[in-house]
Chains A and B, each alone.
Chain A
């Protein structure tokens, strides 16, 4: 069989389907490794069949018929015609594997091609192809295969065609979906503008991005195809006597199942081992290639961030703690061999009705700071490794899971940048508000509904009673964000943590939301931790600001003081590059370079490489956030408009 050679390259291609780390990841998965080892053993044996000292599998010897397992010369015994079972098993496996794999390759090739073309061309071509596919899928699967073989006549090759054909729709549908999504991506437009023709775009730009999905689909279907080949042969429609394949061996053994069970049990076990190990391996490959399943990239945290801190080293609350008091909080991500210190010792405190802004460049650790407070950082890879967060004196990191669940959405509520990630698309605004209310309050029926209407009016949504029945997609971005704020306020939150709540909104809507939040905190005396990257927004709403850089606070102060008289060179530069309306000539300076990666922070000041005032001492030792008074502090040895610190080189 020429097809038998396909075994090797197909197997070999699967393993390194990506960067070297992929192989390492595969070996990390025990089940997949077991699968891989079994598959490899079976394939190697099948491949080596011609070189093994095996008797001819098709030579009959009626004198030796139905010899049991472990007889002399016949390790696995013989069948009803006296043929050596071991030899037939190995040769038969070879045939089954070859047919199963070839069918997979054929189905993958044509199915993917159809899917790619349908997904990319869209419109009429798509409709035509997909209706055709639907028609094939309308027939019961095995019936169709039987019908095809019935028309073409029994035989291994025809069985192969039949199995390939019935599997084409599966590939076509999968690939079409992916292609459709990719065709709308900006890089496809970019390729058009680079002068590429449609086939070039399809096969050079899109195909490489679809390839992992094709491999995943192949690796998860190959086992089934081997099984289907065996099925057709079992029914006498595949391999024809005397040729051995696993299915036909099973079929021949069936008639003497009770007198000589080993004749059918042996190929049965082989089918089981083969399909099982291929599927284990396939699942492993899928897990590795499908980025959604990779640990740590799940965007929605599930339970609660793990806290691993030294119980002897828990910082006490501040003297004047306020509502929320964060002390030396440290959060890390362990990814592979390196540790990313996303938050490296942050102190913050919030009084009643106060709004504190956290500002910094992307990746400076603002969001992780916000999420750590209520344990919303996903574990793994995240974990809190030190410090404490006190809510009215209660240590949140030490509290029980139940207590934290009660506080979430109760005393402490979050508002995120993207309202759609908070709102469930399939439930009405009213349902979701009711749920938020009832999770913490014993309100039922009309009372709860009243409360929901009250909340919607509170965030100034016009005709609130009608809006309860609206679905999130029926509301504008600004309206959705108002609903999220209403949900956050449902249970009289004492602290509102808002992570860039207006970044995705238009300026006009942003000013509405900011005004709303400002009014609400005055009316309800709630404290707000407001995360943003926009100094304009800070000016509009925050009483105090903390500037974050590489996971630490580098400067803090009241908004007015900090904006008028920045002391840290980073703050000054950051304010300088904000474009201001009415000052078109202002934009001159940019901060060159970029922030250090937090898995490899330099000694001393993290800003040293970009700082115009840097001196040699800046690169040594630990630089503290030195507080001039209760609100004002800077983490710099040579702050601006100030005497330099006494530098003790330690």
Chain B
């Protein structure tokens, strides 16, 4: 199964999310992301869902957790390439209020 990838562009941490996001793989993504977020040059996080075919509340936990870490320093979270089902999950969770879903 494909995992997640990380890269830093300008002051944004880009996270390529895996094909399936559930409890089984969630903590490793959060831990890796947090290592990047310790860096002073990383302010914002962009979650890329291009490869993602499944997500449950574990994905909401990953995003909310990262948002809490960076929002106090003015950091923001964004989502790109989110399909219809992922957008439905965002709207049910109310995550839309803190996260911008970008059209690219």
Co-assembled chains A and B: no
